[in-house]
Amino acid sequence: MASALSAPHFHSEEAAFAYVEARVWAEGPVCPHCGGFDRIGKMGGKSTRVGLYKCYQCRKPFTVRIGTIFESSHVPLNIWLQAMYLIAGSKKGISSNQLHRTLGVTLKTAWFMSHRIREAMRDDNMDMFGGEGGEVQADETYIGNIAEKAPKARGFAHKMRVVSLLDKRTGKTRSFYAPSKSLPTVSQIVRDNVDQESHLVTDEARYYWRVGKEFAGHTKVFHGTGNYFKDGRTTNDIEGFFSIFKRGMRGVYQFCNERHLHRYLAEFDFRYSNRVALGYNDADRADTMLKGIVGKRLTYQRASA
C-alpha cells in the first residue's frame, strides 16, 4: 500500500500546478487581472517558469498562484501542498517548528505558511446554524493570556475568551474570539449565527438566559449540580470540540498572540467540521482547503506567534 505522501503532486512542481489548477480552475484558466477566460494560452519554452499563462485580452502573464495564499511565495507549490496535507491531517495541529524540520524550510517561512493556510481554512459561508427543529449547542472557554492584563489580573480577566457554536444537524462548529465577555457581546454572537427557529442548548451560564428566549426553545444543563443531560439534550459535543482545541493550543502551539487567535479558531473549526465522523479523510480535507485559497493572501511579515 503506497503512502499518501507518495502522490506526484507532493514531489513534482509541475504536477502540483496541474493539481491546483484542476481544483481552482475547474472550467479552465481565468485571468486574475481582467477576469477573461476566452483568449488564454499556456506559455512554453525552457526559460518559462512552471504554470505560466498569458491572457491575450489584457496582455498580462499569470499563474494559478496569483490572488491566492501562494502569491509572491518562493516556496515550491509541491511543498505548499505537503504543508496543507500535514495540517489537514493533524487533529490537534502541527507546530511551525515541526513543519520547519519536516519540510526543510526556515522557521519563519514555516510560520508564515501556517498562517496563510489557516486563512484558507477560514469559512466564508456564514449561513445561520440550526433552523426549524435544529439543535445548536453554545458554550464558552478561556485560552492563553492577554499580555498587558496578565501581570495584575485575577481569575479569568487576563484570559482570551472564546465562544463556540455547534450545529447538531450538520456537526459543524463556528468559533469567535470575544474580547468582551459581557452579556450583550455573547448574546449578539448567538443572535447573529443561530436561526431563531432553532433549539438552543447551553450550560447554566447566564450569558445565554436572555437571548435564549428569542429561540424556539432553550435547554439549560446545570453542570454545577452534576447534571450533564436534560430532556435528552447535552452540551457534550461542543465540550468535546473544546477538548481537542485546548489540547492543540496547549500541547502543540503552546502560545498564541491575541491578534492571531481568530486564525487558530478557523483551523480547529475547519478540521472538526470536516472530520472522519462526517465522511472526510485527510485527502478530502486538503482538497476542501484548496477551495478556500483564493482571495486570502496575507502580506504582513512580522512573525510573532
Residue range 200-206: average pLDDT? 91
pLDDT at site 207: 87
Edge-to-edge order in the sheet of strand 40-42: 40-42, 53-55, 61-62
Residue range 218-226: average pLDDT? 84
**Three-class SS string for the chain?**
CCCHHHCHHHCCHHHHHHHHHHHHCCCCCCCCCCCCCCCEEECCCCCCCCCCEEECCCCCEECCCCCECCCCCCCCHHHHHHHHHHHHCCCCCCCHHHHHHHHCCCHHHHHHHHHHHHHHHCCCCCCCECCCCCEEEEEEEEECCCCCCCCCCCCCCCCEEEEEEEECCCCCEEEEECCCCCHHHHHHHHHHHECCCCEEEEECCHHHHHHHCCCCEEEEECHHHCCCCECCECCHHHHHHHHHHHHHHHHHHCCCCHHHHHHHHHHHHHHHHCCHHHCCCHHHHHHHHHCCCECCCCCCCCCCC
Q: Is residue 180 very low, low, confident or very high in pLDDT (cuts 50, 70, 90)?
A: low
Q: What structural domains and CATH numbers belong to the chain? A: 135-256 (3.30.420.10)
Using a pLDDT cut of 70, give the percent of the chain over it.
93
Write the pLDDT tens digit of every residue in 123-154: 988 899 999 989 999 999 998 877 665 556 66
Tell me the pTM. 0.90
More confident residue, 267 or 182: 267
Mean pLDDT of the chain: 90
Edge-to-edge order in the sheet of strand 217-221: 173-177, 160-167, 135-143, 199-203, 217-221
Write the pLDDT tens digit of every residue in 239-298: 999 999 999 999 999 888 888 999 999 999 999 999 999 999 999 999 999 999 998 877
Whether residue 305 is predicted with pLDDT greater than 60 in this model: the reply is: no
